[in-house]
Amino acid sequence: MNWLETLRVALRSIRANRMRSALTMLGIIIGVASVVTMIAIGSGARTKIAEQIRSLGAHVLMVLPEASSSQGVRQRAGSGQSLTEGDAAAIMAELPAVTAAAPSIRGVFQIVAGKRNWRTTVNGTTAEYFVIREWALAAGRYFTAEDTKGGERVALIGQTVAEELFPDFDSPVGQTLRIGHALVTVVGVLSEKGPTGSGRDQDDVVFLPISTVRQRLVGGSNQVNRDAVAYILAKAVSGQQLSVAEQQIAWLLRLRHDLREGQNDDFRVTNPAATMRAQTASTRVLSWLLASVASVSLVVGGISIMNIMLVSVAERRREIGLRLAVGARQKHIRMQFLTEALVLCVIGGLLGLMLGTVSTAILAYYANWPVYLSPTAMVLAMVFAGLTGLVFGYYPARKAAKSDPIECLRSE
Amino acid sequence: MGFERNTKPLIEADNICKDYVSGAGVVSALRGVSLAIGCGEFVAIMGPSGSGKSTLMNIFGLLDRPSKGRLIYAGRDVSDLDINARAAIRNAQIGFIFQSYNLLPRLTALENVELPLVYAGVRRPERMKRAREMLDAVGLADRQAHWPNQLSGGEQQRVSIARSMIANPALVLADEPTGALDSKTGEAVIRLLADLVASGVSVVVVTHDETVAAKADRIVRMADGAVLPHRPEIARESATRDSTPR
């Protein structure tokens, strides 16, 4: 009796008890569907965070001024004016663990191009900024060190800005923007970065040389320190050098800011990727937790398989007796019932996979959750369903195989 | 010719005892039964219920093992074979016919007939071909695709006879094959059993029906777990029948 034969017998008996088989499978269906959905949610969250880390650029550190305080009232983080362009230049020039550093100042402006206008963030920075963030060009060129030095009126625009202001142009490169009273020329369009973790659109931005922003836009009339910057981005030479770079930056800044021992830092060096990775770790724990709760339902499904298989064995004692009498070996009977349990679980698993895919799609669509349905997770769920069939089908199958043919034939 | 057949036993019970342990104690179903069935012999076993004839049939059919004594099949002691080895012998050598037919309700007539060959590892086309021949031989060629519940009692029993024959067994054991049938359909069944004997198969039938027993080469009467000694008139009767060429 080959496996094809066994399979046919199993399918037949499943078909003969359609309602019962369907109810039995329900546990497995729900189990597999929830495992698949939970894994999809978990790995969706992880994939999203990984993407964010990648969009940030590799081994990037962010230096923020410490919150300013006046007469004991502390302002929000980054409100201080302790960091300067000079700090950024020094970090880049003097620290061996740092390959590049870029200062940045920001403001929100109404931008006009022809008959269209758009309100967005203007970021004044240096050419290093794009190296640090590994931000590629879609068209045109970056601005150069000369542009920065000379305060040239050049701009790089993000994808969103390009779409909003220049929907009818093949390329906005060479077009003119009016920002406040300043006219600037678009020299390049940046490639798409997508939203940040908190949902901010990274492509909704205009970059100008930092000197241009100071001279033409913010003017600095309300600033105590004309040289102050909002933050400095720094890139460590490698991932291993990140913490070294962090220490070196802190040491250099304390030195430059004339801070004595006992005085608090007036800046903060943060590692955004590490923060995100910590988030990943907690997401991972959560998704394992969810998946293990889901697999409990798979186990419950397995128990219902065992239950029904035991009923089936008891109901079909005459059949077992007859098969044994005409020469079935114990292994034939065992295989027959085991195959039946396995087929129930595999069919249930496939249905569960479909249900899981649908529910994942619904969550992604309506709740707008990031989901990722990996083929590995699907295969894993199926393997689990199959194992459930084997584990919980084994005892009833063994029981059937060990039956005494005489007693079976005598039973009603 | 008849005598020659009887001289060479196919299966032989040698002083077999069978005890069952029940709640009340040990019950002896067989107390030292010795009985040889010759090749191609037609033997009827008769006796009141509880006389041990079903137990003896189970032991002859290798469904059960004797507690004491030996069972010799084709010259080989099979009393101590394990369950799977006995299944293999049953599969290849022994056919079973039951009072209640024991057809599997979810298989067609043809598939029911095929069943022993499934476990013999015969491939499907070959199985179907042989099963068709068997159904043809029992006169049910037009009932192949019917389910057991679509067949009359007599037809079901003929299907089960076809099933018992399909593996070309040396021995067919029939437990009350006509017990659930009216006399006319019963006769047809008896005729098929006689055909089996004529083709060289040993047939042992347990029956209450004297007309069935009358067709047998030999009648073995049992009571209280033992074979009764030959009663002269019966011995004479069967001897006469045996010597009559058929």
pLDDT of residue A345: 93
Give the chain B residue nearest A2 (alpha carbons).
Answer: B121
Tokens of A224: 């105590």
Q: Determine the distance in angstroms separating the CA of A353 from the nearest CA of chain B, rounded to an integer.
A: 31
Which of A288-302, B53-67, B151-165 shows the lowest per-residue confidence on average (mean pLDDT)?
A: A288-302
> A151 touching B, CB under 8 A?
no
Percent of chain B with pLDDT over 90: 72
| Cα gap A352→A363, rounded to integer Å | 16
C-alpha pair distances (Å), A143 with each of A151, A313, B4: 11, 79, 115
pLDDT tens figures, A236-256: 998 888 889 999 999 999 999
pLDDT band, very low/low/confident/very high, at B203 (cuts 50, 70, 90): very high
The answer on pLDDT for B154 being more than 80 is yes
- Residue B157's pLDDT is what? 93
Distance from CA of A325 to the nearest CA of B (A): 7
Among A5, A16, A324, the residue with its CB nearest the CB of B87 is: A324
pLDDT, tens digit (0-9, with 9 covering 90-100), for A372-412: 888 888 898 899 899 999 999 999 999 999 999 999 998 87
Question: In B, which residues are within 8 Å of A5 by CB distance?
Answer: 118, 124
Give the pLDDT confidence score for residue A70 in this predicted structure.
Answer: 60
Q: What pLDDT score was predicted for residue A132?
A: 92
- Give the minimum alpha-carbon distance from B116 to chain A in angstroms, rounded to a whole number: 5
Contacts of A329 in chain B (CB under 8 A): 84, 87-88, 119
Give the model's pLDDT for residue A199.
Answer: 72
Contact A330 B83 (CB under 8 A): yes
The pLDDT value given to residue A1: 60
- Residue A178's DSSP bridge partners are A112, A183
User: Over 90: is that where the pLDDT of B111 sits?
Assistant: yes
Share of chain A above pLDDT 90, in %: 45
Rounded percentage of chain B residues whose pLDDT exceeds 70: 91
Cβ within 8 Å, pair A409-B163: no
The pair phi, psi for residue B167, each rounded to 5°, is: -90, 15
- What pLDDT is stored for residue A220 in this prediction? 53
Query: Running DSSP on this structure, what letter comes out for residue B150?
Result: G
Å from A407 to nearest chain B CA?
Answer: 10
* Mean pLDDT across chain A: 87
Angle, helix A3-16 to helix A330-362, in steps of 10 degrees: 60
Pick the CATH number of B39-53+87-243 from 3.40.50.300, 1.20.140.10, 3.10.450.40, 3.65.10.10: 3.40.50.300
Distance from CA of B4 to the nearest CA of A (A): 30
pLDDT at residue number A262: 80
Predicted confidence (pLDDT) per residue in B79-102, tens digit: 989 999 999 999 999 999 998 999
Confidence of residue A370 (pLDDT cuts 50, 70, 90): confident
Contact assignment for B64 to A406 by CB distance below 8 Å:
yes
* pLDDT tier at A9, thresholds 50, 70, 90: confident
For residue B84, what is the DSSP state?
H
pLDDT at A226 over 80: no
pLDDT of residue B240: 47
List, for residues B8-26, the tens digit of each pLDDT value: 789 999 999 999 888 878 8
- Strand B94-97 vs strand A267-270: parallel, antiparallel, or unpaired? unpaired
The mean pLDDT value for A319-348 works out to 94
Closest partner CB to B87 (pick from A1, A329, A409): A329
Question: Do A152 and A199 form a contact (C-beta atoms < 8 A)?
Answer: no
Does residue B213 have a pLDDT over 60? yes
What's the confidence (pLDDT) of residue A190?
A: 93
* B66 neighbourhood in chain A, CB within 8 Å: none
Instruction: Sort out which chain B residues have CB atoms less than 8 A from A409's CB and list them.
Output: 98, 102
Instruction: Please give the torsion angle defined by the CA atoms of residues B124, B127, B129 and B132, in that order, rounded to the nearest 10 degrees.
Output: -120
Residue A163, chain B, CB below 8 Å: the answer is no
pLDDT at B1: 40
* Residue A226: φ, ψ to 5°: -65, -20
Nearest to A326 among B58, B91, B106 (CB): B91
Q: How far apart are CA B237 and CA B242, in angstroms?
A: 9
Ranges of beta strands (E only) in A32-164 are 60-65, 69-70, 73-74, 98-113, 116-125, 137-140, 154-157
Residue from A1, A319, A326, A409 whose CB has the most chain B CBs within 10 Å, to mutate: A326
* Lookup: tokens for B115: 């069943």
The closest of A369, A382, A279, A386 to A40, measured between CA atoms, is A369
- In this structure, the dihedral spanned by the alpha carbons of residues A362, A367, A370 and A372, taken in order and rounded to 10 degrees, is -20
Does the pTM exceed 0.80? no
Interchain CB contact of A328 with B (< 8 Å): yes
Minimum distance, in Å, between the CA of residue A27 and any CA atom of chain B: 27
Query: Which stretches of A200-249 are assigned E, i.e. beta strand?
Result: 205-209, 231-236
Residues from B contacting A (CB-CB < 8 Å) are 58, 61, 63-64, 83-84, 87-88, 90-92, 96, 98, 102, 104, 106, 115-116, 118-121, 124, 163, 167
pLDDT digits (tens, 9 = 90+) for A98-132: 999 999 998 889 999 988 999 999 999 999 999 99
Whether residue A16 lies within 8 A of chain B, CB to CB, comes out as yes
**A1–chain B Cβ distance below 8 A for any pair:** yes
pLDDT digits (tens, 9 = 90+) for A48-102: 777 777 778 888 999 988 865 566 666 665 556 788 889 999 999 999 999 999 9
Alpha helices by DSSP H, A330-374: 330-362
Name the DSSP class of B184.
H
- Provide the ipTM: 0.89
Q: Round to whole Å and give the CA distance between B47 and A94.
A: 113
| A164-168, A238-242, A290-294, B128-132: which is most confident | B128-132
- The average confidence (pLDDT) of chain B is 88
Residue B5, pLDDT score: 45
Predicted confidence band at A194 (pLDDT cuts at 50, 70, 90)?
A: confident
User: Is the Cβ pair B119, A12 closer than 8 Å?
Assistant: no
- A349 has pLDDT over 60: yes
Helical residues (DSSP H) of chain B, grouped into ranges: 2-7, 53-60, 83-93, 109-120, 124-137, 153-165, 183-198, 210-214, 232-243
Weakest-pLDDT range from A62-71, B121-130, B213-222: A62-71
| d(C-alpha A405, C-alpha B40), whole Å | 27
